[in-house]
Chain A
């Protein structure tokens, strides 16, 4: 691997270690969900009701690591931070793997 590539991978690894800033800062500044990404309970509070169609499809998929967090919603911040870093590392691995698989299929006739 070229030195430059190594440096970039290291940079990505450091990003994963720093990623918990992305939950700590919103927590400190009392910022909540992104606009339009409220869950059903929050919507009920905002609107006083939950739109019918939305209610039916909102929970169509149960993600294995919802919200990049292993500990559930009530987890301690330390658990959330740990989960977030692990999620970042999983993200690096999964994203790279999928790209490599796609590329292998795409370039299978080249060396």
Chain B
């Protein structure tokens, strides 16, 4: 889902830079309010985790590959604004150091994986879990938050790919940037994620949620909020 350089028209990637920069600004302000200096090691670990989990490319035999992103579980454990910053840092490092995702597409890739994904995951979790603090409903909510979060990010990327032929084509009628229309991009990205990659994201989300629930439940942001409201 890392859009490379050249696939997006400037009309697409420049506004998306603007949106992502605005979100970074708000995120930093909110982190300053919500997060204490003691939690810095956890922010660092979250970023490192997202970097590493993205290295585990999962193959569709004879087809494409994909991977989890970790933005959902980071949003559940540390809050969505922390996830915005942690995953954006990872995506910027990947683009500059490893050529994974384009330099021009940093705004777009951050929008998909570091903004859409953590917020969709966070909202999904809060809606699905209701007032549960553990048990099957809670775990199902964690799975769905990863599953729907990554799928939403993939659809957002597919939308960006798919509108390129509508935005810009050359005098010969050939597309200038990403060549496939929405009618190809959306099903291609949706199917591979719904059937495989998002399931893996959901499983990773559940595994980590269970681990934290068992060992350090007071750390979990999305539970802290609940208990604060109750007091």
Contacts and interface: CB of A to CB of B under 8 A. Distances in A.
Real binding pair = yes
Interface of A: 1, 4-5, 8-9, 12, 15-16, 18-19, 21-23, 25-26, 28-37, 39, 43, 47, 49, 51-68, 84, 87-88, 90-92, 94-96, 98-100, 102-103, 106-107, 110-111
Interface residues of B, number: 71
A100 B59 contact: no
Interface of B: 1-7, 9, 28, 31-32, 36-37, 40-45, 47-53, 55-67, 85-86, 89-90, 93, 95-100, 102-104, 157-158, 161, 168, 170, 174-180, 185, 188-189, 192, 215-216
B57 A23 contact: yes
B4 A58 contact: yes
B75 to A, nearest CB: 16
Contacts of B158: 36
A53 B2 contact: no
Contacts of B36: 110
A29 B95 CA distance: 26
B32 A106 contact: yes
Contacts of A19: 52, 55-56
A68 B99 CA distance: 8
15 contacts: A22-B56, A29-B60, A34-B57, A35-B192, A36-B157, A37-B4, A51-B178, A63-B99, A63-B100, A65-B97, A65-B99, A68-B55, A88-B51, A98-B93, A106-B31
Contacts of A47: 179
A99 B27 CA distance: 13
A98 to B, nearest CB: 5
Given A49-B174, A52-B176, A57-B6, A29 B90 contact: no
Contacts of B28: 102, 106
B92 to A, nearest CB: 8
Contacts of B177: 51, 53-54
Given A34-B1, A65-B98, A87-B98, A53 B52 contact: no
B5 A111 contact: no
B97 A63 contact: yes
A64 to B, nearest CB: 6
Given A30-B61, A91-B51, A91-B52, A54 B6 contact: yes
Nearest to A32: B64
Nearest to B162: A36
Contacts of A30: 59, 61-62
B63 A12 contact: no
A53 B104 CA distance: 13
Contact of B55 (A60, A62, A88, A110): A88
B111 to A, nearest CB: 15
A16 to B, nearest CB: 6
Given A57-B102, A58-B6, 11 more contacts: A26-B58, A28-B59, A31-B62, A39-B4, A62-B99, A63-B98, A67-B98, A91-B55, A91-B90, A98-B93, A106-B32
